[in-house]
Amino acid sequence: MNPVRPDSRGSPQSRSRDPQSIIVFGASGHGKVVMDVARRGGVEVTLVVDDDPKCHSLSGVPVLSALDPEWIATKEFNYIIAIGVNAARASVFDRLGTQGGIARTLVHPSSVVAESASLGAGTVACAGAVVNPDSVFGKNCILNTSCSVDHDCVLGDHVHVCPGVRLAGGVMAGDGVMFGTGAIVIPGVKIGAWSIVGAGAVVLRDVPDRCVVFGNPARVVRSIKRALPPIFQM
């Protein structure tokens, strides 16, 4: 399917109700990736929202501040959040749900998601991601470039599986877990909520809640005492 390119016709308020259009929250490099996933799936990005005052457009789409009256007036919109930091993405997701937003799920046409797998609302599967049978993702997750999630994995809300991660069968992860680039987790391991698996780590045993683990084999290097602040002041 050819990507749908944005044009200047209509306001964000009128066009955001279209089921084949969305608003993207986040104008970083990951925002570019999410926009490409949307366009390759035939979904038009009508607007990007971000707090960076220096950013006025992203991949040809206007960028508005979260405090801009034009954005605030937008109602009944479809959206996807392009923020890699899990705590910030969770905060924005919760807020948008109270403003009439409908979270879309996006899957890049080059990714492979088994028919029996499940991706929650607001989840994005980027190019080359693989999700095998009976694996389940919660809401607002990121399956980043060329990650692999094998059979019967169960992952909570707001999880980020970074590029090149390999999760073997039956891995379980609580809400807000971050799997760093290239991390490997062996079958049946449980990762506690809001923990971080460092880049390149090889996880051989269960990880408690709110811990950072690194190394091969992975070991706990510190605990996480507080949540990160949200990016959008909405």
Residues assigned a catalytic role: 151
| Gap between the Cα atoms of 96 and 102, Å rounded | 8
CB 108 within 8 A of CB 90: no
Report how far apart, in Å, the C-alpha atoms of 206 and of each of 52, 95, 113, 172 are: 38, 32, 26, 9
Spatial distance between the Cα atoms of 76 and 99, rounded to a whole number of angstroms: 8
Q: Under a CB-based contact definition with an 8 Å cutoff, are residues 147 and 161 in contact?
A: yes
Distances in Å between the Cα of 170 and the Cα atoms of 107, 134, 173 are 22, 10, 10
